[in-house]
């Protein structure tokens, strides 16, 4: 299943960019949030809360800690949304 088939990638990218305070175009498929953007645990939790509110899912702290890329976020959301359905 492709990312595009499940999510509006542009909307998700902009949501992530808003939380991380970066340009949306910098959120590419292979950018590493921790290594390339300096995301720390506080920002990761802020991102989790934003995603929880938007997609109406519960994201545990250990789950968001494993997220490093846009495809990682999509995979996490896919799991959560399938479970909620």
Q: What is the mean pLDDT of residues 6-23?
A: 90
What distance in Å separates the CA atoms of residue 79 and residue 31, rounded to the nearest whole number?
21
What pLDDT, in 10s, does the model give residues 26-50?
Answer: 999 999 999 999 999 999 999 999 9
pTM comes to 0.85
Q: For 3-8, which contacts have Cβ atoms below 8 Å and span 24 or more sequence positions?
A: 3/29, 3/70, 3/71, 3/74, 6/74, 6/77, 6/78, 6/81, 7/74, 7/77
What pLDDT, in 10s, does the model give residues 53-83?
Answer: 999 999 999 999 999 999 999 999 999 988 8
**Are the C-beta atoms of residues 14 and 54 closer than 8 Å to each other?**
no
């Amino acid at each position: 299943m492709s990312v595009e088939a499940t999510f509006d990638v542009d909307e998700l990218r902009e949501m992530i960019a808003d939380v991380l305070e970066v340009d949306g175009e910098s959120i590419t498929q292979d950018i590493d949030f921790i290594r390339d953007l300096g995301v720390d645990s506080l920002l990761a939790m802020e991102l989790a809360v934003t995603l929880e509110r938007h997609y109406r899912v519960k994201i545990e702290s250990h789950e968001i800690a494993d997220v490093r890329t846009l495809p990682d976020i999509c995979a996490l959301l896919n799991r959560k949304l399938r479970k909620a359905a």
